Structure 1
Amino acid sequence: MLSDIEIAQAAKIAPINEIATNLGLAPQEIEPYGHYMAKLDLKNRKNDPMTGKLVLVTSINPTPAGEGKSTVTVGLGDALTQAGKKTVIALREPSLGPVMGMKGGATGGGFSQVIPMDKINLHFTGDFHALTTAHNTLAALIDNHMYQGNTLRLDPRRILWKRVLDINDRALRHTTIGLGGPTSGIVREDGFDITVASELMAILTLATDLPDLKHRIEAIVVGYTYDKEPVTVAQLDVAGALTVLLKDAIKPNLVQTLAQTPVIMHGGPFANIAQGTNSVQATKAALQLGEIAVTEGGFGADLGAEKFLDIKVPKLGKAPSAVVIVATVRALKMHGGQAKSDLTTPNIAALTTGLANLGRHIQSMQRYDLPVVVAINEFSSDTPAELALIANYTQQFDVKAIPTDVWAKGGAGANALAAEVIKLTEKASQLRPLYASEDALTTKIEKIVTEIYGGSKVEYSPKALRELKTFAKYGWDKLPVVMAKTQYSLSDDAQALGAPRDFTIHIKTLVPKLGAGFIVALTGNILTMPGLPADPAANHIDLLPDGETITGLF
């Protein structure tokens, strides 16, 4: 059996100018990065109408068994193209953290991939490097300001702006900087987040253009003074320099699938610690250029889809016409208590129990009054009885569950799914928001916990309660909320699989992200800098003697 990278390396890939021309882009709108990737300069299309229909792909809570949400997204896009629809896929960019760690990349798999997958999963067009540099430049400028006299009276104990790195490195979660004597800066506690957790990543994906990017950067709160007053980037007067570092990164990237369906890839915030969607610019362009735009929200519907609908849709100005929830027999059996080592064994009892997780996600998406279809991402070990059980279960929600085999067959494996998606997008629907913008922060959190997660209570730490008072003082308590929560469970306990009920969500701390325009609520034991596993993917990646062929990259 060929690996993902072997399939990608054997593919016929079209010159990126050809993909752009077929999409209707003019030569001056394309900035090639080599032969098969390009940046898009779409400033002249800013006011073009978004005439396409939007399809959001999400999933059940992920498990080590794998769900294949990106693979289904790509396969569905190819199937819609084959059905005669001018389709554009909008995806996030991969982070090197998962690529070198254990989750993998973000380009799909098998015969349902975005290519060139090796370049995309590694350095791509340099967006993440630019973000890392801009973020750490601000960190250096903050420390330099304190060292050079600290006219803003920043309290070194209350700096919010950590440093970042686009690799999993647990050793950097907590650091002490400024050691080495008086000429080495102010001694203080610091730490690193992964680049995708940077507020600059969130800003990049929500900014509409360069002026908006700079305006959002100016609003970033970097810390507090000795008098506990907030200090922003605007007060440091360095937003211009940071904007310069991001002037190319703000442009979306154009690539293609194995079937040469155009893919606009841009931004990559994780959904467990940030908003989990590609950029507003990328999705908007897909809606302007195609009849159907297929996009995804990271991790399960409790995280990526909720944030897409409550954070991104108001900025985008357009709601999905259909939601696809990806599930696998294997993952549902894990949610029902079956061991990972035994997932190829049929187990109707475990599957029946695990289906509650799928049911919760169907209900949460229907809470927004959006049409839903379930895509069962097939594995060879799935039995007809197991597939039939899922299909029968979803009928109670008036939702179809359609088997797809896009890993092995590409778009041809999603023809039935594409037909149902087209049918759903032709129905009239109107998004019903989960909360109103004027709702208090605590009300927004409570609605997410009770109506999306299925919990019953929110408990705030003493620190979080103090932060709520501070936010209310400055009027920040009316901002939307991004829940930072484990992706593996509907609760904040990663071990509570299936569909737990009547649980409590524990809010440890709240972080103002005024540039992004939301408040982050950190729950449970969530980490903003992951660690590497015992056998990281990096151990298996290599370069052949030809200097070009990469092996072991999935």
Structure 2
Amino acid sequence: MTTTTKPLTDIEIANEATMKPIVEIAEKAGIPLDAVEQYGRFKAKIDTSKVVGDANAKVILVTAISPTPAGEGKSTVTVGLADALYQLDKSVMVALREPSLGPVMGVKGGATGGGYAQVLPMEQINLHFNGDFHAITTANNALSALIDNHLHQGNVLNIDPRRIIWKRVLDLNDRALRHVTVGLGGPLQGVPREDGFDITVASEIMAIFCLATSIQDLKERLKRILIGYTYDRQPVTVGDLQVEGALTLILKEALNPNLVQTIEGTPALIHGGPFANIAHGCNSIIATQTARKLADIVITEAGFGSDLGAEKFLNIKAREAGFKPSAVVIVATIRALKMHGGVAKTELVAQNVEALRVGIANLAQHVANVRNFGLEPVIALNRFITDTEAEIAFVLEWAQANEVRIARTNVWEEGGKGGIELAKQVLEVIEQPNDFHQLYELQETVEQKLTKIVQQVYGGAGVILTDAAKKQLTTIEKNGWDNLPICMAKTQYSLSDQPSLLGRPTDFVVTIREIIPKLGAGFLVCLTGDIMTMPGLPKQPAALRMDVAEDGSAVGLF
């Protein structure tokens, strides 16, 4: 009689791992001991003012095809690639985003990699970590309180309560808070007005936090935040309220990046966490640049597919930070490609090369996207046990025919060992020159920038603006804000703005329904489709599977 052993879950694997004291990880990374502020034995914040050196490490960006419910494993590959390079005796660090409680409790569960390619301590990182998101939430809501207090105390700035665009935030998915009314209950309770909540990762303060290069730059960016308009339609900023100093004070400790480790002991900096479908989707510049001082190679990721996180990483973050990426890894799975080819999630186990033949067009667009930026991609074909040899052979032959590098990757099961082939191909690419460039110049018109993104990244025909967006654009141009980069808020599931259009749709037009200036972050958020800045929970949220064992350990964090 044979028995089958049930595979360990991600959290079970994490709980069985032996972590090294964080001071050992810091020493390995070359971080001075007096720069390490410990948060327990296995986490720390790093005082970047005490980390010396030039930020000249090569940056490798990990992105993916358009995500599906079948799973792609981008963070898992990011961690596994770093561990593989470490096994090859390379000086390497990981720079990742922090997980939001919204998706942790919603659909996604944990967000620290998976299997034997995880960052630890997984449980603490997925929950409250070192308090950065709490600080960002507090700073955001402190500004809201200060705005409402200004109205209550006489409104010297003549702010029109109907034209306040600043919202409160919460680090949870809660659709009931999208539209609220504040100030009810009479004169003592403030000035009644309509308000709403975004999720914390959509806050402009989160974007500022991740794009700031120093504490002074943080303060200057906070000062520029547009909170609304006066009765005579003049813009009002945080600087007008004179509270940028208070907001900076709330955030100053959080601005130091967090040091943790992978299962294999590779140093990892995890800091900041804007979503890529409603924000710019990259970890902090401070963390990335600190890692670039400490290692020769930095592995980082950007949210969702290349049409979202990677586009914003390359057009916004790299521009702001002033570095050129050396390589881009595109994570793909046969399961996800079959879904893009029309196969239902329940039918993915069966071999279906014909569906792959259709679905691989999605991968082709993401390869083209990377090449449009002057970079050469490497495909990480992330292995699932259900993949057949015929399916694997088809994808490998497709890659060869299209002259794109590809490596079979099995880091979930094997850790760094399963990423050696990928690491070797990446090492070859980063030694070659590239022609990296942004897709648009800042002085181009907003519509020109939007059109380039839609045509060169999404593969669409063009854009149209709603009447509301046109009116907002007129205000933006009048105030001289039209020379900012574009931050598209778009569904992650499709290259278009319609979630149901899988694969590689063509001839579609993207509708821009709102354009919101984020002057502190330094970009224009362009809302498309029915994208929400405060997500809702699914019918069966991940929270239903979560618990605490008798020994206090977490259950159900995937």
Shared fold by TM > 0.5? Answer: yes
State the AA in 1 paired with 2:274. P
Q: Deviation at 1:26?
A: 0.6
Residue 482 of structure 2 aligns to a residue in which SS? Answer: helix
Is 1:6 aligned to residue 49 of structure 2?
A: no
Superposed CA offset, 1:233-261 (max 9, x none): 00001111110100111110000000000
- Kindly provide the amino acid, as one letter, of the partner of residue 552 in structure 1: G
Equivalent of 2:67, from 52, 62, 66?
Answer: 62
Structure-1 separation of matches of 2:106 and 2:35 = 35
State which of 118, 132, 138 in structure 2 corresponds to 1:127.
132
1:92 Cα offset (Å): 0.2
Q: CA deviation at 1:9?
A: 0.6
Q: Distance in 2 between matches of 1:88 and 1:72?
A: 14
Q: Is residue 247 of structure 1 aligned with residue 258 of structure 2? A: no
Query: For residues 51 and 159 of structure 1, what CA distance do their matches in structure 2 show?
Result: 42
TM alignment of 1:469-548, pairs within 5 A: 469-546=474-551, 548=552
- The CA deviation at 1:545 is 2.1
Report what 2:172 is aligned to: 167
Name 1:34's counterpart in structure 2.
Answer: 40
- Find the partner of 1:417 among 419, 422, 425: 422
Query: How far, CA to CA, are the matches of 2:401 and 2:324 in structure 1?
Result: 25
- Note the alpha carbon deviations across 1:228-285, whole angstroms, 9 max, x for none: 1110000001111110100111110000000000000000000000010000011111
Paired residue for 1:292?
297
How far the C-alpha of 1:553 sits from its partner, in A, is 1.2
- Between the aligned partners of 2:55 and 2:218, the Cα distance in structure 1 is 21
Q: CA deviation at 1:318?
A: 1.2
Match of 2:218 in 1: 213
Instruction: Determine the structure 1 residue equivalent to 2:364.
Output: 359
RMSD over equivalenced CA pairs, Å: 0.9
In the TM superposition, 1:436-451 aligns within 5 A as 436-451=441-456
d(CA) in 2 for partners of 1:316, 1:142: 31
- Residue 348 of structure 1: which of 316, 329, 353 is its match? 353
Amino acid at match of 2:139: A
Structure 1 segment 23-172 matched on structure 2, within 5 A: 23-45=29-51, 48-172=53-177
Matches within 5 A, 1:457-468: 457-468=462-473
Letter in 2 for 1:10: E
**Aligned AA for 1:478?**
N
Deviation at 1:64, TM superposition (A): 0.5
Q: Is the 1:370–1:431 contact (alpha carbons within 8 Å) kept by the matching residues of 2?
A: yes
2:553 maps to what in 1? 549
Q: Which residue pairs with 1:20 in the alignment?
A: 26
Q: Give the stretch that moved more between structures: 537-546 or 153-162.
A: 537-546
- 1:69 CA displacement: 0.2
Matched positions, count: 552
2:324 corresponding residue in structure 1: 319
Query: Hey, what's the Cα distance between the residues in 2 that align with 1:311 and 1:397?
Result: 29
Query: Following superposition of structure 1 onto structure 2, how do residues 184-195 of structure 1 map, counting pairs within 5 Å?
Result: 184-195=189-200
Alignment partner of 1:104: what SS? coil
- For residues 237 and 323 of structure 1, the distance between their equivalents in structure 2, rounded to whole angstroms, comes to 42
Counterparts of 1:270-285 in structure 2 under 5 Å?
270-285=275-290
| TM-superposition CA deviations, 1:121-145 (whole Å, max 9, x none) | 0000000000001100000110110
Q: Tell me the secondary structure at the aligned position of residue 489 of structure 1.
A: coil
Is the CA contact 2:102–2:172 (under 8 Å) kept in the aligned structure 1? yes
Partner Cα separation in structure 2 for residue 62 and residue 422 of structure 1: 26
Contact 2:32 2:51 in 1 (8 A): no
Q: Give SS of 1:268's match.
A: coil
Q: TM-score, normalised by structure 2?
A: 0.98
Structure 2's unaligned 5+ residue stretches are 1-6
| Runs of 4+ displaced beyond 3 Å | none
**d(CA) in 2 for partners of 1:396, 1:170:** 46
1:478 alignment partner, SS class: coil
Deviations 1:355-377 (A, max 9, x none): 00000000010011112110011
CA shift digits 1:97-156 (9 cap, x unpaired): 000111122210011100000000000000000000110000011011011111111111
> In structure 1, what is the Cα distance between the partners aligned to 2:519 and 2:403?
40
CA shift for structure 1 position 201:
0.3
Whether the 8 Å contact between 1:193 and 1:529 is mirrored in structure 2 is yes
Report the equivalent of 1:375.
Answer: 380
Provide the rounded CA distance (Å) in 1 between the counterparts of 2:196 and 2:108: 23
SS in 1 for 2:520: coil
- Contact persistence 1:362–1:397 (CA under 8 A): no
**Contact 2:35–2:51 (CA<8 Å) still a contact in 1?**
no
SS of corresponding position for 1:521: strand
Residue 178 (structure 1) shift: 1.2
Task: Tell me, in whole angstroms, the C-alpha distance in 1 between the residues paired with 2:401 and 2:465.
Answer: 36
Instruction: State whether structure 2 residue 460 is matched by structure 1 residue 455.
Output: yes
Q: Secondary structure at the match of 2:37?
A: strand
Question: What is the SS of the residue equivalent to 1:129?
Answer: helix
Q: 1:275 is aligned with what amino acid?
A: H
Partner Cα distance (1:106, 1:552) in 2? 12
Mapped to 2, the partners of 1:106 and 1:119 lie a distance apart of: 11
1:432 Cα offset (Å): 2.0
